[in-house]
Amino acid sequence: MTEAPELPLTMRRDRFDPVDELGRARDTEGVVRVVTPFGSPAYAVCRFEDAREVLADPVRFSSARARLFLPPDAEVTGEELAEIQAGNLIGYDPPEHTRLRRMLTPEFTRHRMRALEPRIVEIVDSALDDLERAGRPADLVANFALPVPSMVICELLGVPYSDRAEFQERSARLVDASSPLERRLAAQRESRAYMTRLVAEARAEPGEDILGMLVREHGDDLSEAELAGIASLLLIAGHETTSNMLGLGTLALLRHPDQLAMVRDNPARVEPAVEELLRWLSIVHALPVRATTTEVRIAGHTIPADSLVVVSVPAADRDPAFVEAADDLDVTRGAIGHLAFGHGAHHCLGAPLARMEMRIAFPALLRRFPRLALAEPYETVPFREFSAVYGLRSLQVTW
């Protein structure tokens, strides 16, 4: 039997918490040498203010240059690499990043999100009905945490919800650090082929969704590969992150029943609770890698030019220089400015949507099932240890 590879330091957790070694790296050195999930050496930045400095400076810390640092066993031609990376906003620097992001920004404004709210409420209520029909005990991940954001992003983007099992399986392969590189690349190719087909359909008959909008308003400015890349990124990010926050966040609240009661019973506590759960859980282990364009100094360390740099989000968001008692979950805190959605030019475009989904879903779940409880020992709950987006594989609950 093939042994699972060793987890990179930036991905190691002790249930909800980053491992002690990562905390010590933050509190002592600030910057530590690590290996990325693709096997490349990198520098991990662990302190909050240093992390913000890296993320806010695309000149010294380039996303585009980082794309060139391929693992030695990556069997990808230059032409295919360009095709795979086209339209993927997280791999661009300004001004190209700005050009692509500007096309999408109107779809994710607060005004647009408010218009979507009634439909998201309907989707959440429908998922709760399905969860109740599943009977006790039920898997909260499969019956609630995953269907809600999947349905939302499918409707917003213009992807058939009937294809959800297919794209969920592909995205799971893409973020699985234990999977061989070739398997992840195959998932990337399959995702591109799927989106290319949807782009062709949108070209022929553009709908009122984001893909239709891009075709109508920017079809002459975007290549087929760019359209497919943008749509692929939105689809994967739109359900992977929020679904894991809903599952893991519910477990966190179940482990803190006094704070669960505040979220369930006091509407004024919901928004601060969402922010605190985002900070405390920090489900994205490390933000997309950057490459230094020149020699830089961070936390007293000299990092040479052409080095890979990653930001450890759990370590930075648990930095006591950012918030007091940072290792404690406190839903009354609601610290603004955490790095769960990144920072700077690459701050998550879909953050307003994710916040709205959580703001609606958490209290709705807890009010529908006021006696919600674990239906399995906490020690046996399966966490997604090798996933680039942390979360739960399943969560058996009763009510």
pLDDT at 169: 86
State the chain's maximal CA–CA distance in angstroms. Answer: 59
C-alpha dist (Å) from residue 133 to 137, 151, 245, 366? 11, 18, 23, 16
Q: Band the pLDDT of 184: cuts 50, 70, 90.
A: confident
Q: Greater confidence, 189 or 395?
A: 395
187 vs 182: CA distance, rounded Å:
9
Share of the chain above pLDDT 70, in %: 95
Predicted local distance difference test score (pLDDT) of residue 118: 96
State yes or no: pLDDT of 394 exceeds 80. Answer: yes
Reported pTM: 0.93
- CA–CA separation, 68 vs 121, rounded Å? 43
| Confidence band for 77, pLDDT divided at 50, 70 and 90 | low
The pLDDT score that the predictor gives to residue 1 is: 39
CB crowding 229-268: b at 16 or more within 10 Å, else e: bbbbbbbbbbbbbbbbbbbbbbbbbbebeebbebbbeeee
Decide: 364 and 341 in contact? Cβ < 8 Å: no
304: tokens are: 């040479």
Mean pLDDT within 370-384: 97
Question: What is the pLDDT averaged over residues 121-146?
Answer: 96
Q: Which of 152-166, 310-324, 381-395 has the lowest mean pLDDT?
A: 152-166
Q: What integer pLDDT is reported at residue 2 of this predicted model?
A: 47
**pLDDT band at 179, cuts 50/70/90?**
confident
What is the tens place of the pLDDT at every residue in 279-327?
999 999 998 899 999 999 999 999 999 999 999 999 999 999 999 999 9
pLDDT value at residue 75: 66
pLDDT at 73: 59
227, 263 contact by CB (below 8 A): no
Residue 355 confidence class, pLDDT cut points 50, 70, 90: very high
Nearest one of 233, 263, 285, 280 to 358, comparing CA atoms? 263
Q: How far apart are the first and last CA of the chain?
A: 39
- Can you give the pLDDT at residue 192? 84
Lowest mean pLDDT among 136-140, 177-181, 185-189, 347-351: 177-181
Read off the pLDDT of residues 27-59 as tens digits, 9 standing for 90 and up.
999 999 999 887 889 999 999 999 999 999 999
Pairing of strands 41-45, 31-35: antiparallel
Q: Return d(Cα 333, Cα 36) in angstroms, integer.
A: 33
Omega of the bond prior to 5 within 30 degrees of 0, cis?
no
Q: Are 8 and 35 in contact (CB under 8 A)?
A: yes
**DSSP labels for 86-154?**
TT-GGG--TTHHHHHHHHHGGGGSHHHHHHHHHHHHHHHHHHHHHHHHH-SSEEHIIIIITHHHHHHHH
pLDDT confidence of residue 305: 97
Q: Give the closest residue to 275 by CA, choosing from 359, 208, 158.
A: 359
- What confidence tens digit (pLDDT) does each residue in 80-117 have? 677 778 888 998 999 999 999 999 988 888 788 888 99
Structure tokens at 58: 């695309």
CA atoms within 13 A on the CB side of 122: 8
**Do the Cβ atoms of 291 and 309 come closer than 8 Å?**
yes
Q: What is the pLDDT of residue 9?
A: 94
Summarize pLDDT for 246-269 with one digit per residue, the tens.
Answer: 999 999 999 999 999 999 999 999
Check: CB of residue 390 under 8 Å from CB of residue 283.
Answer: yes
380 pLDDT exceeds 70?
Answer: yes
Work out the average pLDDT over 275-279.
Answer: 97
Residue 198 corresponds to which tokens in the numbers above? 């949807």
- Strand 41-45 to 308-311 pairing: parallel
Starting at the edge strand found earlier in the chain, the sheet holding 138-139 runs 138-139, 396-398, 373-374
Question: What is the structure's pLDDT at 161?
Answer: 87
Region 190-202: mean pLDDT is 89
Cβ atoms 175, 243 nearer than 8 A: no
